[in-house]
Amino acid sequence: MPLPTPQPNVRVVTLRIDDRDLSAREDETLIEVCRENRIPIPSLCHLDGLSVWGGCRLCMVEIAGQGRLVAACSTRVAEGMTVQTDTERLRHYRRTIVELLFAERNHVCSVCVSNGHCELQSLAQRCGVDHVRLPYRQAPYPVDSSHEMFRLDHNRCILCTRCVRVCDEIEGAHTWDVMGRGSDCRVITDMARPWGESETCTSCGKCVQVCPTGALVKQGTSAGEMVKDQHFLPILARRRHAR
Amino acid sequence: MHLEDLAEQAAQYRNEDAHIEREVRVCVAASCQSSGSLPVLEALKSACDTQGAGSCKVKGVGCMGLCSAGPLVAVADKDCALNESVLYRDVTPDDAPDIMASVCSTPVERLRCPTDQPFFSRQQRIVLEHSGLIDPDSLRGYIAVGGYAALVRALTEMTPADVLREVTTSGLRGRGGGGYPTGLKWSTIAKMPPGQKYVVCNADEGDPGAFMDRAVLESDPHRVLEGMAIAAYAVGASKGYVYVRAEYPLAVERLETAIRKAKRAGFLGAKVADTQFAFEVEIRLGAGAFVCGEETALMASIEGLRGQPRPRPPYPAESGLWGCPTLINNVETFANIAPIIREGGDWFAAIGTEGSKGTKVFALAGKIKNTGLIEVPMGTSLRDIIEVIGGGIPDGRAFKAVQTGGPSGGCIPEAHLDIPVDYDSLKTLGTIMGSGGLIVMDETSCMVDVARFFMEFCMSESCGKCIPCRAGTWQMHALLDTLTKGRGTRADLALLEDLCDVVRATSLCGLGQTAPNPVLSTLRYFRDEYEAKLLGDA
Ligand SMILES: Cc1cc2nc3c(=O)[nH]c(=O)nc-3n(C[C@H](O)[C@H](O)[C@H](O)COP(=O)(O)O)c2cc1C
Ligand code: SF4
Ligand code: SF4
Ligand code: SF4
Ligand code: FES
């Protein structure tokens, strides 16, 4: 993957992540440096090429000398920073966050078309979530199948807003948004009209490809079939950026 | 405009009222209005006309503090403070003739509310110095008591650096909850490269039980505008916003009037007080979402976006409204500025405690005799506030706990009542000063219920952006609900404590980070109440 050419005034700093000395451009975020150096940081809302959201809180890391944890996706590197990405405490928090997500809506993987190709599912496996300690919320959510090519199942949505951001920032349609607050939040198309009646959607499918779960899928796929392809995103984002 | 011109103007206004010897002041702030003070004002005005008391003036004024006894009417010699006046409580329009007749003779005993009680005598009013004395809608009234002199003085006799020095010397800390040093915040914005900068007054006030900021805006709106203008001069801003919740229509109305009049008189606008300094103020209405008091969400809301926090840094001081450096302070913080400039930072720093200077306005609510608004020096003990000023617990019941800091705070039991109220002492007890809401609870309160109440608030006010807050508060509320109903197990309690830790450590903004506090503090002091409700371990 080609990296953007460094800006003339950007300095390079050195920092220590998980006991490794690394160098980074000072305008980079911790998650970018970690990914470059193959240090795994779990994340669900972050996607290279989209704006920073900071909502899933899975990327949190410990910084020496700082009481608070910080989100790696929204924290810039600094000279001399010492970072731990995989402590016992962080593993416990990440595990709990994944459990909170599972208990919030319906994530019964065995009947999901994304089974086997889902970022939430594989994250749960990585975090060792083999059961959920929390009671399931069991709120019934609707499914919107009105679009001729795609389907939205709110029960599988984790509100990462990747769809909102890709449609707005890359496709330029701004079909998606979020309505409500707290646990009543849900993604909507246009002014909460059925997706099939949307006047802004170009049916480009970008939202479906970036959705980490089985919330956005192609119509007609059956369990285990829905493979997502996100390689277009950084390429498109960089081309636009270069222009 | 020179300071002398303004002083002359003030003298002239006072002169025009020289024939008035006595004033009948009717509280027209929201609480007294809701108990019917406007008809009382009308009745008093017409009684004044018919009974022909030419040397007496009936006027509407701001909050006098003892809201539970409203409508309040004070009769006093002009320029006399509240505690030197004859105060009447629970006044009805029918009482108007009696009150007017008493102006120059003996007071109406059946309506009297003693002003020599500690509720009045133990207060020290700086923020509220004009509250209950001047007509909030009158610019003349504000100028007559020395209003805008601090602004004119800052603009004509001080450099921005001088102003910053006074504010820093004063030791004033933000009254919106965090307690961040105001001088330091101002200096940071002043140091940002010149260009577009903004000043924002946070009047969102979403904490349940809090109405300090509302009272200040309803009682003395020019005071807040003056503080904002001085701030703008100090940091180099030319535009300001007051973000008020739409549920405060009276505050909004008074603020609008104040802005209009201040602009016409040249205290806002292109050439403030005939100097080169320009400052415009606009009101922005919030829809009343608690999270919109959080500064990054507030800014998003002003920009017309969904009121949702974003990660900090960058802080507003560096990148705020539309990416420009932005100063955000609370209403009460701004209301402290004019007296600091008038009397000097050292004067202010001499009041209060080592780490918390000045006074603090508190809203007393709950199981307490005198509910209402008070202002006391920092360092006053909680016991003084509750037992002496607040008059103690009614109905012969025993005190149990006091909740400070709203949904971000915690409960303090009897054993710690002698603690001085300041930012740092409260923190050692696992709670915070917050914006100044004090909710008193007596022996009948169940502390698990209290924790559930605050968790319900946070759950329904969560913006939903980040998962620990959105789903975590829901789970914690469900657990607390189970516990209050006596259906919880020891494992539920352990899970609740675990979630407190996760939500506090991982939430994106202050709402989620502090949502567990009421649970943690009740667990700390009243764990036995949680245990007593557990199902047997059988
Ligand atoms: C959820 C949340 C709600 C808040 N609500 C208010 C509020 O209603 N009024 C306020 O002044 N500050 C509120 N704050 C604090 C502000 O974000 C900010 O710190 C404050 O306005 C700064 O002003 P100060 O330095 O004068 O205190 C809130 C913070 C959080 C996290
Ligand atoms: S298909 Fe394309 S245009 Fe339609 S909602 Fe998805 S991203 Fe937006
Ligand atoms: S539909 Fe998919 S991409 Fe959109 S918010 Fe939900 S989980 Fe994220
Ligand atoms: S902590 Fe709560 S209010 Fe704050 S961003 Fe997260 S969900 Fe929104
Ligand atoms: S990836 Fe950082 S919060 Fe989601």
pTM score: 0.94
What is the arithmetic mean of pLDDT over B295-308? 96
Residue bearing the bigger pLDDT, B79 or B176: B176
User: Is B323 touching A (CB cutoff 8 A)?
Assistant: no
Provide the residue count of chain B: 538
- Cα(B384)–Cα(B387) distance, rounded to whole angstroms? 5
A149 to chain B, minimum CA–CA distance in Å? 28
Across residues B287-305, what is the average pLDDT?
A: 95
Tell me the longest C-alpha to C-alpha distance in chain A. 54
DSSP state of A66: -
Read off the tokens for A190: 């246009």
Which amino acid is residue A242, in one-letter code? A
**CB of A30 closer than 6 A to ligand 5?**
no
Distances (CA, A) of B2 to A85, B6, B126, B225, B343: 61, 7, 25, 19, 18
pLDDT tens-digit series, residues B230-240: 999 999 999 99
Cβ-proximal residues to A166 (8 Å cutoff; 6+ apart), any chain:
A47, A50, A206, A207, A210, A233
Enter the CATH code of domain B447-536: 1.20.1440.230
Residue B461 in this model has a pLDDT that exceeds 60: yes
pLDDT in tens, B420-441: 999 999 999 999 999 999 999 9
Please report the pLDDT score of residue B39 as a whole number.
93
H/E segment holding residue B498: helix B490-506
**Greater confidence, B22 or A98?**
A98
For chain A, which domains are there? 10-85 (3.10.20.740), 105-235 (3.30.70.20)
Which tokens belong to A230?
């996100």
Residue in B11, B335, B401 with CA at minimum distance from that of residue B182: B335
- pLDDT band at residue A222 under the 50/70/90 scheme: confident
A167 CA to middle of ligand 2, Å?
5
pLDDT beyond 70 at B537: no
Topology (CATH level 3) of domain B359-442: Ubiquitin-like (UB roll) (3.10.20)
Atom of ligand 5 nearest to the CA of A160: 4
Concatenate the DSSP letters of all residues of B243-309 into one string. EEETT-HHHHHHHHHHHHHHHHTTSSBSSGGGSS--BEEEEEEE---GGGGSHHHHHHHHTTS----
What is the pLDDT, as a whole number, of residue A7?
Answer: 59
Own/partner pairs, A229-234, CB within 8 angstroms, 24+ separation: A230/A47, A232/A206, A233/A47, A233/A48, A233/A49, A233/A50, A233/A166, A233/A170, A233/A206, A233/A209, A234/A1, A234/A48, A234/A49
- Provide the Cα torsion B257, B258, B261, B264; round to 10°: -120
Structure-block tokens of residue B170? 């004063």
Chain A contact for B492 (CB, 8 A cutoff): no
Q: Which residues contact B28 (CB under 8 A, 6 or more apart)?
A: B37, B38, B41, B60, B61, B62, B136
> Which residue of A56, A143, A158 sits with most ligand 3 atoms within 8 Å of its CB, as the best mutation to test the pocket?
A158
- Residue A185 at interface with chain B, using a CB cutoff of 8 Å: yes
Exposure on the CB side of residue A177, measured as CA atoms within 13 A: 15
**Quick check: CB of B301 below 6 Å from ligand 1?**
no
- Residue-wise pLDDT for B477-489, tens only, equals 999 999 999 999 9
Residue at A66: amino acid letter: Q
Q: How many CB atoms lie within 10 A of CB B443?
A: 11
**Ligand 3 pocket: which residues have CB below 6 Å?**
A 157-163, 187, 211-213, 215-216
Chain A residue with Cα closest to B459: A182
DSSP symbol at B9: H
Chain B residue numbers touching A104 (CB-CB < 8 A): 467, 470-471, 474
Check residue B225 and give its pLDDT: 98
Distance B321 CA to ligand 4 centre (A): 20
Find out if CATH 3.40.30.10 is the number for domain B19-121.
Answer: yes
Instruction: Measure in Å the smallest separation between the Cα of A220 and chain B Cα atoms.
Output: 31
Tell me the sheet residues that pair with B181.
B173
Indicate the residue of A74, A92, A101 with minimum beta-carbon distance to B311: A74
Domain B147-349: which topology? Answer: Rossmann fold (3.40.50)
Closest-CA residue to B463 (of B124, B203, B182, B206): B206
Q: Cβ of A31 under 8 Å from any chain B Cβ?
A: no
Lowest mean pLDDT among A56-70, B81-95, B98-112, B318-332: B98-112
Atom number, ligand 3, closest to the C-alpha of residue A158: 7
Do the Cβ atoms of B475 and A93 come within 8 Å? no
A71 ligand 5 Cβ < 6 A: yes
Residue B473 Cα: closest atom of ligand 4: 2
Question: Is the CB of B356 inside a 6 Å radius of any atom of ligand 1?
Answer: no
Residue B381 to residue B383: CA distance in whole angstroms: 5
Give the contacts of B447 (CB within 8 A, at least 6 positions apart): B400, B401, B411, B441, B522, B525, B526, B529, B530
The Cα angle at residue A202 between residues A200 and A206, in degrees rounded to 5: 115
Å between B461 CA and nearest CA of chain A: 6
ipTM associated with this complex: 0.93
Question: What distance in Å separates residue B440's CA from the closest CA in chain A?
Answer: 29
B470 and A182: CB-CB below 8 Å?
yes
* Ligand 3: residue whose CA is nearest its atom 6: A157
Distance CA B325, CA B317 (A): 5
Distance A173 CA to ligand 2 centre (A): 7
Bridge partners (DSSP) of residue B26 are: B60, B73
Q: For position A8, what pLDDT does the model report?
A: 65
Cα separation, A103 vs A132, whole angstroms: 7
Pairing, β A12-17 against β A82-84: parallel
Half-sphere exposure in the Cβ direction for B342 (13 Å, CA)? 17
> Distance from B79 to chain A by nearest Cα, in Å?
49
B487 vs A contacts (CB less than 8 Å): none
User: Which pLDDT band holds residue A239 (cuts at 50, 70, 90)?
Assistant: confident
Domain boundaries, chain B: 19-121, 147-349, 359-442, 447-536
Give the position of tokens 């005190």.
B399
Q: What is the dihedral of CA A71, A75, A81, A87, to 10 degrees?
A: 10
What distance in angstroms lies between residue B164's CA and the mean position of ligand 3's atoms?
A: 47
SS3 B462: coil
Averaged pLDDT of chain B? 94
Interface check A196 vs B, CB under 8 A: no
**Is there a common fold for B19-121 and B447-536?**
no
Nearest to B506 among A60, A75, A181 (CB): A60
Three-state SS for B208-261 is CCCCHHHHHHHHCHHHHHHHHHHHHHHHCCCEEEEEEECCCHHHHHHHHHHHHH
User: Is residue B205 within 6 Å of ligand 1 at its C-beta?
Assistant: yes
> Which residues are within 8 A (CB) of A235 and not within 5 positions of it... i.e. 6 or more apart?
none
* pLDDT interval class at A1 (50, 70, 90): very low
Contacting B residues, span 17-46, partner chain A, CB-CB under 8 Å: none
Average pLDDT, chain A: 93
Residue A193 confidence (pLDDT) above 60:
yes
- Residue B313, preceding peptide bond in cis (omega within 30° of 0): yes
pLDDT value for B513: 97
What b-and-e string marks burial along B5-17, b requiring 16 or more CB atoms within 10 Å of the CB? ebeebbeebbeee
Q: What is the pLDDT of residue B108?
A: 87
User: Which ligand gives the minimal distance to the CA of A148?
Assistant: 2
> Which chain B residues touch A159 with a CB distance below 8 Å?
464-465, 467, 470
* Partner residue facing A103 (CB), from B461, B464, B475: B475
- pLDDT value at residue B52: 64
Query: What whole-number distance in Å separates Cα of residue B217 and Cα of residue B238?
Result: 22
In the predicted structure, residue B77 carries a pLDDT above the cut 90: no
Residue B509 in contact with ligand 1 by CB distance below 6 A: yes
Residues of B in contact with A103 (CB under 8 A): 471, 475
Kindly indicate the confidence band of residue A2, based on its pLDDT and cuts at 50, 70 and 90: very low
What is d(CA A140, CA B479) in angstroms, rounded to the nearest whole number? 20
* Site from B318, B489, B502 to mutate, A interface, most A CB atoms within 10 angstroms: B502
Min Cα–Cα distance to chain A from B122, Å: 40
pLDDT at A49 over 70: yes
3-state secondary structure of B50: helix
Which residue, A226, A195, A12, is CA-closest to A114? Answer: A226
CA angle B178, B415, B495 (to 5 degrees): 65
Mean pLDDT of B248-252: 96
**How many residues in chain A?**
243
Three-state DSSP class for residue B195 = coil
- A102: part of which helix (H) or strand (E)? helix A88-104
CA atoms of B255 and A53, how far apart (whole Å): 36
Output the residue whose Cα is nearest ligand 3's atom 7.
Answer: A157
Q: Per-residue confidence at B538, pLDDT binned at 50, 70, 90?
A: very low
